[in-house]
């Protein structure tokens, strides 16, 4: 059963969505609210599997800002956005947020039906992202840039953490500097960094993964290590070749 946080400022629509989702038998609304500020509090206290988020909300935070704040405390929390705003402007706002994975976006209409949204929620939880076809070409451009610089694969909070790891700070020191409410957030953020750079698949020792992450950060090159510890990098033809350093 999926535990869903529902964030929608229209009270009647929120009630209808809540009824429809719970009638599906596959989703339980663990909490619902109309504001980003309360959504942040509820997300931390209920730890949902995913969030369904309108972009325009009550309060000072919009949906994108709320998602950024939530994913700061719960790294890469799956979020499904919906809005009536223009796709191009949404794309610009969304890219500026630094959210790169585990999300979806659908156009809001007068008939926002739960059965249309549930597959996107399931995909987001599974780590699959959905992009509106109208902006797919620009997404490919961004992905090409991502392949050139591994730092582009990280979200803003993860960039801040890996920078401090490279400076030699411990998880406790990083958590203190960043003011996290849950000190375990740094370990979860480290795991997201390792996964984004392929280190989670080849490294079981956290100290080794941490060291390799620092090397990637300092060289700005995506590096893979085989089971014998030999490093490989991508050449111009996108083939993995032995790396001699430098």
Read off the pLDDT of residues 148-158 as tens digits, 9 standing for 90 and up: 678 888 888 89
What 18-27 contacts at long range (C-beta under 8 Å, 24+ apart), as own/partner pairs, is 20/113, 20/114, 20/115, 21/114, 21/118, 23/114, 24/114, 24/115, 24/118, 26/1, 26/2, 26/118, 27/1, 27/2, 27/114, 27/118, 27/121
Question: pLDDT at residue 86 above 80?
Answer: no
pLDDT computed for residue 110 by the predictor: 45
For residues 223-235, give the mean pLDDT.
87
pLDDT computed for residue 175 by the predictor: 92
For residues 203-225, give the mean pLDDT.
90
Could you give the number of structural domains in the chain? 2
pTM here is 0.60
Question: pLDDT at residue 246 above 80?
Answer: no
Query: Do 134 and 168 lie in a common domain?
Result: no
> Do 113 and 20 meet the contact criterion of CB atoms below 8 Å apart?
yes
Question: pLDDT at residue 114 above 70?
Answer: yes
Query: Do 157 and 136 lie in a common domain?
Result: no
> Do 232 and 240 meet the contact criterion of CB atoms below 8 Å apart?
yes
pLDDT computed for residue 14 by the predictor: 92
Mean pLDDT of the chain: 84
- More reliable by pLDDT, 210 or 85: 210
Residue 62 half-sphere exposure toward CB, CA atoms < 13 A: 11
Q: How do strand 27-33 and strand 2-7 relate by DSSP bridges?
A: parallel
CATH code for the domain in which residue 228 is found: 1.10.10.10
Query: Do 109 and 7 lie in a common domain?
Result: yes
Question: pLDDT at residue 237 above 50?
Answer: yes
First to last CA, the chain: 50
Query: Do 87 and 207 lie in a common domain?
Result: no
Read off the pLDDT of residues 28-84 as tens digits, 9 standing for 90 and up: 999 999 999 999 999 999 999 999 998 889 988 888 889 989 998 998 899 988 876
For residues 93-118, give the mean pLDDT.
69
Please state, in angstroms and rounded to a whole number, the distance separating the CA atoms of residues 70 and 79.
Answer: 10
For residues 107-136, give the mean pLDDT.
73
Structural domain of residue 99, as residue ranges? 2-144
Nearest residue to 216 via CA among 227, 100, 204, 203: 203
Query: Do 115 and 190 lie in a common domain?
Result: no
> Do 150 and 222 meet the contact criterion of CB atoms below 8 Å apart?
yes
Query: Do 129 and 17 lie in a common domain?
Result: yes
Question: pLDDT at residue 135 above 50?
Answer: no
Q: For the chain, how many residues are written?
A: 246
Query: Do 6 and 111 lie in a common domain?
Result: yes
Query: Do 134 and 164 lie in a common domain?
Result: no
Q: Looking at the chain, list the stretches that DSSP marks H as alpha helix, in order from N- to C-terminal side.
A: 11-24, 36-46, 63-73, 87-97, 114-125, 136-148, 156-166, 171-178, 185-196, 206-219
Question: pLDDT at residue 8 above 50?
Answer: yes
């Amino acid at each position: 059963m999926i535990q869903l946080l529902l964030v929608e400022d229209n009270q009647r629509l929120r009630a209808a969505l809540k009824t429809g989702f719970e009638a599906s038998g596959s989703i339980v609304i663990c909490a619902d609210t109309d504001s980003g500020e309360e959504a942040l509090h509820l997300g931390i206290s209920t730890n949902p599997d995913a969030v369904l988020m309108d972009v325009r909300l009550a309060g000072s935070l919009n949906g994108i800002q709320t998602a950024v704040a939530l994913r700061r405390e719960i790294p890469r929390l799956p979020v499904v956005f919906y809005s009536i705003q223009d796709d191009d402007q949404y794309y610009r706002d969304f890219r500026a947020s630094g959210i790169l994975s585990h999300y979806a976006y659908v156009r809001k209409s007068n008939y926002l039906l739960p059965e249309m949204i549930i597959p996107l929620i399931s995909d987001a939880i599974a780590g699959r992202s959905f992009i509106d076809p109208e902006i797919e070409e620009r997404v490919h451009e961004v992905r090409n840039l991502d392949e050139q610089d591994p730092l582009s694969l990280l979200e803003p909070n993860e960039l801040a953490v890996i920078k401090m790891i490279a400076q030699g700070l411990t998880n406790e020191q990083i958590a203190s500097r960043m003011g996290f409410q849950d000190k375990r957030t740094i370990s979860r953020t480290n795991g997201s960094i390792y996964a984004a750079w392929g280190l989670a698949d080849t490294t079981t020792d956290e100290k080794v993964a941490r060291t390799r992450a620092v090397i990637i950060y300092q060289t700005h090159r995506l590096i893979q290590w085989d089971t014998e510890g030999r490093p490989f990098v991508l050449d111009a033809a996108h083939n993995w070749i032995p790396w001699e350093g430098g």
